[in-house]
């Protein structure tokens, strides 16, 4: 999985019917030191994440293993809101 910050939301009224009712989050990717990489992904929200929150997302077929995304054409899902992580003995982030 990768880390990201929820930067915003996306609205698409005309879409594949299987995507109806899902919240789409614009997620800026973070590196392991909690700085932005410049990359992003649009991911389905499976955990009720809000703008500004630090989250973890899964990609590819694994993104379809949540209740929200099963059998849907989604290749990225926010599946956790991060409390804290540490690297090399230092706490990088705490909610």
Whole-number minimum distance, CB 16 to its own copies, in Å?
A: 4
15: left (phi over 0), alpha (psi -120 to 50) or beta: beta
Whole-number minimum distance, CB 21 to its own copies, in Å?
A: 13
Whole-number minimum distance, CB 60 to its own copies, in Å?
A: 5
Q: CA angle, 39 as apex, 36 and 40 as ends, to 5°?
A: 105
Write the CA distances from 23 to 5, 8, 33, 49, 51, integer angstroms.
Answer: 15, 11, 27, 10, 12
Query: Site residues (CB under 8 A) for its own copies?
Result: 1-3, 7-19, 24, 26, 28, 31-32, 38, 40-43, 46-48, 56, 58-67, 69, 71-77, 79-89, 92
Whole-number minimum distance, CB 79 to its own copies, in Å?
A: 4
Write the CA distances from 15 to 11, 56, 69, integer angstroms.
Answer: 10, 25, 15
């Amino acid at each position: 999985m990768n880390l990201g910050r929820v930067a915003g939301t996306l609205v698409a009224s005309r879409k594949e019917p299987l995507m109806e009712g899902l919240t789409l989050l614009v997620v800026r990717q973070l590196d392991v030191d909690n700085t932005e990489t410049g990359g992003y992904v649009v991911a389905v929200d499976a955990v009720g994440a809000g703008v500004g929150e630090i989250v973890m997302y899964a990609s590819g077929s694994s993104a379809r293993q949540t209740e929200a995304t099963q059998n849907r054409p989604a290749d990225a899902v926010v599946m956790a809101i991060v409390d804290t992580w540490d690297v090399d003995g230092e706490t990088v982030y705490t909610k």
